[in-house]
Amino acid sequence: MFGAAAIAGLAYIQYQAAQAGNYAIDLFGRAKDTASSTANTLFEGAGDIYGRTKNGWEKTRDSVELPQLPSWLQNLLSKDGSSSSNGSGGPSGQGPTPSENRSGVVGAGAATAAAFRLDAESEEDTRSEETAARDDQMMMLTRKMIEIRSLLQTVGQSDSLTLPSIVVVGSQSSGKSSVLEAIVGHEFLPKGSNMVTRRPIELTLVNTPNAHAEYGEFPALGLGKITDFVQIQKTLTDLNLAVPEADCVSDDPIQLRIYSPNVPDLSLIDLPGYIQVTGYDQPTELKEKIAALCDKYIQAPNVILAISAADVDLANSTALRASRLVDSRGERTIGVVTKMDLVEPERGAAMLNDRKYPLRLGYVGVVCRVPHQTSSLFSRGSANIASAITKNENAYFAAHPSTFGPASSLQVGTINLRKKLMLVLEQTMSASLATTAEAIHQELAEASYEFKVQYNDRPLSADSYLAESLDAFKHSFKVFTESFGRTEVREIVKHELDQQVLNLLAQRYWNKPFDDLTPPLPETDALIDLPKADPENVLWHLKLDASTASLTKLGIGRLATTVVANQLQAQIDRLISTSTFSTHPFARTAITQAATAILRNLSYDTSDELEICIKPYKYRIELEDNEWARGRENINAVLKAELRDCESAVKSVEEAVGGKKRLRDVMGFIDRVRSGDVVLEGDGVGGAGGFSSSLLGIGRQAVFLRDRADILRMRLLAVKSKQCANKKNKYYCPEIFLDAVADKLTSTADLFLDAELLSKFYYNVRATPSPPSPFLHPTSLPPLANNKNPHQFPRSLDTHFRSLTPGEIEQFAREDPKVRRHLDVVRRKELLEHVLKEMEALRQLEAREKRSASRGTQTKTLGDGDGSRKRRWGLF
Ligand code: GDP
Ligand code: MG
């Protein structure tokens, strides 16, 4: 009873399927044979394919009125039905799912019908539904394997990491290109008499049953979809001609994928044709080179498609001779005899029946020439030429029914060839799956080991590497900002102004270098007399006032801003060189430039505004007692440092002359000349007093330095003296006064630079309030709502690196050889794992396929004796 219900239910679904022309349901229909008596076996059979055909199922479920079905069948058809509970792979399972276009509304075997070119124009699809569905399944398996093959190509490296393909060999002009074009249905291969195929062309055909467009793609070139086959032909020609004349052939394959509803899933490799004699303009080794290239490709487990023209004796076929060498038992060679139309039918038939070179996969005779009228009627390149070729071919074979008719058992025709190629490729690929999987496991084990040992299993991608690098850099920048603030700015600016003060003192108060040995003019007011000078002495007043004016009008705004900005830039450079970016020239430059640009921008405004801030000091300077005291203390240290520098300079001069004594002698001589004790004869240019002129020059420097040191010592005493303890005596103590002024200027500058330069550079929102200086120009107040600071350095880094394209990020990460190796290992491992997963899915698919196929034949043989049941099935 239950069995009957099952059959009735199935019958109904079958009916629906016929109505919808639903391929998916037909698959289910095939499973009917397994539904012998219990629902359980039905589940098994149907469960297998449930996953693959769920789209079709759902479609049927929608179109079927569920209440009319028995409840168990409703369960089966409903999404959450028990079908997945039997564990044989439901829609939620890991099992392979159908590619979208397979489960749509194509009729049974429609995919292969088009691929086999079983369309209305050529011949009726005479296949039984079962055969058609089986063909479709076979093509699905092949497609999956070809996908895996392509994946493996991206893994590269080892030769064992591939799945077999069909390799086309034959001598020049034997018709190789014509056969391939007949299979594809388009003229797309390079044409010409002179060696147009110089590189292997790895042709992958991808069946797209529901698509209308046919197009090609060169995955390695990134040109996108090319729908114009003339363009494909041009590209192939260019790629081939790019091989230098001197090299003749290259074993670097061109990869081409062609997508079309009219092609079967196939993987074919076109090779340069064998040549018999080398042309006068071809190097002598060309013949061997081509032979070597072909040899490489015709190795097991590849299938050899040996092309021979009918008008050449098979014994002379280069293709067969080459294949014989690597496949002596003729197990993986398909013989193709082209140009059957050029010889007498009997001779052609004899070739196909060849007994001298028996091939397990047999010989197929074809006529692949594009009939002339086609090329004139349709514009070449765009129209599919398959039907024209098939018609022409069929016409020829049909004209000799006794030779080539069904009774002859000869295999002829492009359609048969296509089908044979599909079957053979599927079988060959299946057969080598295990070996390939083994090789992949091996590679994966190696990659995993390397990943573990070298990289401690640390995952990495270009994106994550960039993000980590940027985070780390921003972190180190943040740490730096915390250590570089107003105090540090003050130190830098003060140090710079100290140097300026020393320069002014040297210019206006200290001794001057001298160039000749003439006695110096007597000084009107020697510095040594300063402590005892008249308090109203105009000269000393003028000297200090002029020095102060020089200091305040130095351009402090620009000077202070520049030294601080330079320091920031130097710090950024230091941060970069201690970061991961140090190994990335492009990023390095980008970051440096970002910092430079921001600092330059900020510096313009900052230096102008700071100049305005210090403007009042140019006119009037009031010093507090404590300021004076601080200046006195500081300049003491500065003068001491200067004295030390002076003394060490004298030391190095001593060394340069070669000893204290020698220097003392020359200095003594110079002193005597300058004081007038010794009168020089002549100008002393060529030396004097027994000293060479260069020695005299060095002596002059030493005298200058010694006098400078004496002055410094004297002034250090003055600074420490009681006289200089009081700010009222500033004219007697210019050093202290100038230092105190420099300190005042520094206090304004550091506050301002901290607020304007550092904060804008560091932070998003102003961290420090504007300097509370009463002199601050109103226009220099930044807008308070300015929380999107365009000058902020970390933000500009974000903006820069976020605008990078994935390709640029990849390029960036790969700049570092260590990172590149790491990335390669990670990628390789991921790819291999992915391939293995795909292979596992394929293995399951195949196992189910085999199971259901064997069940199918089993029940069929059983059913043969059961006429009544057969009839019942026949109802549908
Ligand atoms: P390849 O050098 O091996 O690629 O050979 P081609 O495919 O370029 O073919 C060489 C020449 O043979 C071309 O002029 C084709 O038109 C012609 N040809 C190819 N197949 C056939 C055929 O089946 N019959 C005839 N008559 N000519 C053919
Ligand atoms: Mg060719």
* pLDDT given for residue 279 in this prediction: 56
* pLDDT given for residue 470 in this prediction: 92
- Closest residue by CA, ligand 1 atom 26: 339
Residue 3 has pLDDT above 90, yes or no: no
In sequence order, the 6+-apart residues with CB closer than 8 A to the CB of 320 are 306, 308, 314, 333, 335, 357
Which tokens is 626 given? 């404590």
CB atoms within 10 A of CB 872: 12
Determine, yes or no, domain membership for 461.
no
- Closest residue by CA, ligand 1 atom 14: 173
Does the bond joining 616 to the residue before it have cis omega, within 30 degrees of 0?
Answer: no
How much is the average pLDDT of 254-258? 92
Domain containing residue 834: 830-876
pLDDT band with cut points at 50, 70 and 90 for residue 223: confident
- Closest residue by CA, ligand 1 atom 11: 173
Ligand 1 nearest atom to the CA of residue 342, by list position? 26
Residue 492 has pLDDT above 90, yes or no: yes
Q: Are residues 693 and 754 in the same domain?
A: yes
The answer to whether 167 touches 203, Cβ cutoff 8 Å, is no
643: amino acid identity, one letter: L
| Ligand 2 centroid to residue 841 C-alpha, Å | 38
Q: Mind listing the pLDDT tens digit for each residue in 46-66?
A: 333 333 333 333 333 333 333
Order the strands of the 166-170 sheet from edge to edge: 215-217, 254-260, 201-207, 266-270, 166-170, 303-309, 333-338, 363-365
Determine, yes or no, domain membership for 151.
no
3-state secondary structure of 266: strand
Q: Are residues 787 and 849 in the same domain?
A: no
In sequence order, the 6+-apart residues with CB closer than 8 A to the CB of 449 are none
The answer to whether 164 touches 331, Cβ cutoff 8 Å, is no
Q: Are residues 847 and 768 in the same domain?
A: no
Question: How would you write 669-708 as a 3-class SS string?
Answer: HHHHHHCCCCCCCCCCCCCECCECHHHHHHHHHHHHHHHH
Ligand 1 nearest atom to the CA of residue 170, by list position? 3
Which of 48, 77, 106 corresponds to the end of one domain? Answer: 77
| Ligand 2 centroid to residue 157 C-alpha, Å | 29
Q: Mind listing the pLDDT tens digit for each residue in 577-625?
A: 999 999 888 889 989 999 999 999 899 989 999 999 888 888 888 889 9
CA dihedral 698, 699, 701, 703 (to 10 degrees): 170
Ligand 1 nearest atom to the CA of residue 171, by list position? 3
Phi-psi region of 387 (alpha: psi -120 to 50; beta: other; left: phi over 0): alpha
| Ligand 2 centroid to residue 193 C-alpha, Å | 9
Substitution site in 167, 168, 173, 364 for ligand 1 pocket (most atoms within 8 Å of beta carbon): 173
β-bridge partners, 267: 204
Residue 126 has pLDDT above 70, yes or no: no
* pLDDT given for residue 194 in this prediction: 66
Residue 786 has pLDDT above 80, yes or no: no
Task: Give Dmax over CA atoms of the chain in angstroms.
Answer: 148
Q: Which ligand is nearest to the CA of 173?
A: 1
Determine, yes or no, domain membership for 143.
no
* pLDDT given for residue 691 in this prediction: 82
| Ligand 1 centroid to residue 178 C-alpha, Å | 6
Residue 79 has pLDDT above 50, yes or no: no
| Ligand 1 centroid to residue 388 C-alpha, Å | 15
* pLDDT given for residue 497 in this prediction: 93
How much is the average pLDDT of 347-359? 87
- Please report how the helices 734-753 and 538-552 are oriented relative to each other, as an axis angle in degrees rounded to 10: 20
In sequence order, the 6+-apart residues with CB closer than 8 A to the CB of 488 are none
Mean pLDDT score of the chain? 77
Determine, yes or no, domain membership for 597.
yes
Substitution site in 178, 318, 389 for ligand 1 pocket (most atoms within 8 Å of beta carbon): 178
User: For the ranges 186-190, 287-291, 640-644, 662-666, which has the lowest average pLDDT?
Assistant: 287-291
Which of 794, 816, 843 corresponds to the end of one domain? Answer: 794
Of the two residues 118 and 633, the one the predictor is more confident about is 633
User: For the ranges 291-300, 496-505, 554-563, which has the lowest average pLDDT?
Assistant: 291-300
Which of 770, 794, 818 corresponds to the end of one domain? Answer: 794
Q: Could you give the angle at the alpha carbon of 228 between the alpha carbons of 223 and 233, nearest 5°? A: 80
How much is the average pLDDT of 86-114? 42
Ligand 1 nearest atom to the CA of residue 366, by list position? 23
- Closest residue by CA, ligand 1 atom 25: 339
* pLDDT given for residue 67 in this prediction: 37
Ligand 1 nearest atom to the CA of residue 179, by list position? 7
Q: Mind listing the pLDDT tens digit for each residue in 365-375?
A: 999 988 765 44
Closest CA to 225 of 233, 210, 235, 215: 215
Pairwise CA distance, residues 485 & 379, whole Å? 77
DSSP labels for 33-58?
GG-SS-HHHHHHHHHHHHTTTHHHHH
Q: Which ligand is nearest to the CA of 392?
A: 1
- Closest residue by CA, ligand 1 atom 22: 339
pLDDT band with cut points at 50, 70 and 90 for residue 574: very high
CA gyration radius, the chain: 47
| Ligand 2 centroid to residue 195 C-alpha, Å | 8
- Closest residue by CA, ligand 1 atom 16: 369
Q: Which ligand is nearest to the CA of 196?
A: 2
The answer to whether 206 touches 111, Cβ cutoff 8 Å, is no
Q: What is the pTM of this model?
A: 0.59
| Ligand 1 centroid to residue 369 C-alpha, Å | 6
Pairwise CA distance, residues 525 & 137, whole Å? 113
Which tokens is 471 given? 């985070």
Q: Are residues 768 and 841 in the same domain?
A: no
Q: What percent of the chain has pLDDT over 70?
A: 76
| Ligand 2 centroid to residue 197 C-alpha, Å | 6
- Closest residue by CA, ligand 1 atom 19: 175
Q: Mind listing the pLDDT tens digit for each residue in 807-851?
A: 889 888 888 888 888 888 888 888 889 888 888 888 887 787 777
Residue 699 has pLDDT above 80, yes or no: yes
| Ligand 2 centroid to residue 189 C-alpha, Å | 7
Q: Going by DSSP bridges, is the β-strand pair 201-207/363-365 parallel, antiparallel, or unpaired?
A: unpaired
Q: Going by DSSP bridges, is the β-strand pair 201-207/254-260 parallel, antiparallel, or unpaired?
A: parallel
Which tokens is 858 given? 């089993």
- Please report how the helices 129-155 and 414-455 are oriented relative to each other, as an axis angle in degrees rounded to 10: 40
Helices (H), 456-584: 462-483, 486-508, 538-552, 556-577
How much is the average pLDDT of 503-509? 89
Determine, yes or no, domain membership for 89.
no
pLDDT band with cut points at 50, 70 and 90 for residue 859: very low
Q: Are residues 13 and 63 in the same domain?
A: yes
Which tokens is 717 given? 């005493």
Q: Which ligand is nearest to the CA of 368?
A: 1
Which tokens is 53 given? 């055909």
Residue 504: Cβ-neighbour burial (10 angstroms; 0-12, 13-18, 19+)? buried
* pLDDT given for residue 72 in this prediction: 35
Ligand 1 nearest atom to the CA of residue 307, by list position? 3
Ligand 1 nearest atom to the CA of residue 368, by list position? 23
pLDDT band with cut points at 50, 70 and 90 for residue 737: very high
Give the 3-state secondary structure percentages of the chain, helix then strand then coil, rounded to 5: 60, 5, 30
- Find tokens 């388009």 and name the residue: 186
* pLDDT given for residue 749 in this prediction: 92
| Ligand 1 centroid to residue 1 C-alpha, Å | 64
Ligand 1 nearest atom to the CA of residue 191, by list position? 8
Q: Which ligand is nearest to the CA of 396?
A: 1
Q: How far is CA 310 from CA 369, 416, 513, 642, 822, in A?
A: 13, 18, 106, 103, 55
β-bridge partners, 363: 335
3-state secondary structure of 318: helix
Q: Are residues 705 and 651 in the same domain?
A: yes
Pairwise CA distance, residues 388 & 404, whole Å? 20
User: For the ranges 17-26, 308-317, 751-760, which has the lowest average pLDDT?
Assistant: 17-26
- Closest residue by CA, ligand 1 atom 1: 173
In sequence order, the 6+-apart residues with CB closer than 8 A to the CB of 666 are 657, 691, 695, 696, 698, 699, 702
How much is the average pLDDT of 743-772? 77
* pLDDT given for residue 596 in this prediction: 93
Q: Are residues 399 and 488 in the same domain?
A: no
| Ligand 2 centroid to residue 253 C-alpha, Å | 15
Pairwise CA distance, residues 53 & 97, whole Å? 8
Element (H, E) at 375: helix 372-377
Pairwise CA distance, residues 708 & 702, whole Å? 10
Q: Are residues 653 and 558 in the same domain?
A: yes
Q: What percent of the chain has pLDDT over 90?
A: 26
How much is the average pLDDT of 537-559? 90
273: amino acid identity, one letter: G
Question: How would you write 565-606 as a 3-class SS string?
Answer: HHHHHHHHHHHHHCCHHHHCHHHHHHHHHHHHHHHHHHHHHH
Which tokens is 807 given? 């390709």
| Ligand 1 centroid to residue 754 C-alpha, Å | 83
- Closest residue by CA, ligand 1 atom 28: 369
Q: Are residues 645 and 520 in the same domain?
A: yes
Q: Are residues 40 and 182 in the same domain?
A: no
Residue 643 has pLDDT above 90, yes or no: yes
How much is the average pLDDT of 260-288? 77
Ligand 1 nearest atom to the CA of residue 180, by list position? 7
Q: Which ligand is nearest to the CA of 389?
A: 1
| Ligand 1 centroid to residue 249 C-alpha, Å | 22
Ligand 1 nearest atom to the CA of residue 338, by list position? 23
Pairwise CA distance, residues 594 & 761, whole Å? 11
* pLDDT given for residue 562 in this prediction: 94
Residue 396 has pLDDT above 80, yes or no: yes
Determine, yes or no, domain membership for 258.
yes
Q: How far is CA 859 from CA 35, 37, 523, 870, in A?
A: 10, 12, 130, 11
| Ligand 1 centroid to residue 174 C-alpha, Å | 6
User: For the ranges 22-36, 441-455, 619-633, 774-788, which has the lowest average pLDDT?
Assistant: 22-36
Q: Are residues 749 and 622 in the same domain?
A: yes
Pairwise CA distance, residues 133 & 168, whole Å? 29
Which tokens is 821 given? 């190796």
3-state secondary structure of 207: strand
β-bridge partners, 254: 201
| Ligand 2 centroid to residue 215 C-alpha, Å | 21
Q: Are residues 513 and 646 in the same domain?
A: yes
Residue 743 has pLDDT above 90, yes or no: yes
870: amino acid identity, one letter: K
* pLDDT given for residue 74 in this prediction: 37
| Ligand 2 centroid to residue 269 C-alpha, Å | 12
Determine, yes or no, domain membership for 683.
yes
CA atoms within 13 Å, Cβ hemisphere of 625:
2
Burial track 180-208 (b if 16+ CB lie within 10 A, e otherwise): bbbbbbbbbbbeeeebbbbbbbbbbbbbb
How much is the average pLDDT of 749-777? 68
Q: Which ligand is nearest to the CA of 338?
A: 1
Cα-flanking dihedrals φ and ψ of residue 215, to 5°? -155, 165
CA dihedral for 666, 672, 674, 679, sign (positive or negative): negative
pLDDT band with cut points at 50, 70 and 90 for residue 378: very low
Q: Which ligand is nearest to the CA of 371?
A: 1
Determine, yes or no, domain membership for 785.
yes
- Closest residue by CA, ligand 1 atom 6: 175
Q: Going by DSSP bridges, is the β-strand pair 333-338/266-270 parallel, antiparallel, or unpaired?
A: unpaired
Which tokens is 134 given? 């089986």
How many structural domains compose the chain?
Answer: 4
Residues lining ligand 1, judged by CB closer than 6 Å? 170, 172-178, 273, 338-339, 341-342, 367-369
pLDDT band with cut points at 50, 70 and 90 for residue 568: very high
Substitution site in 308, 369, 392 for ligand 1 pocket (most atoms within 8 Å of beta carbon): 369
Q: Which ligand is nearest to the CA of 171?
A: 1
| Ligand 1 centroid to residue 329 C-alpha, Å | 28
The answer to whether 517 touches 790, Cβ cutoff 8 Å, is no
- Closest residue by CA, ligand 1 atom 10: 173
* pLDDT given for residue 180 in this prediction: 93
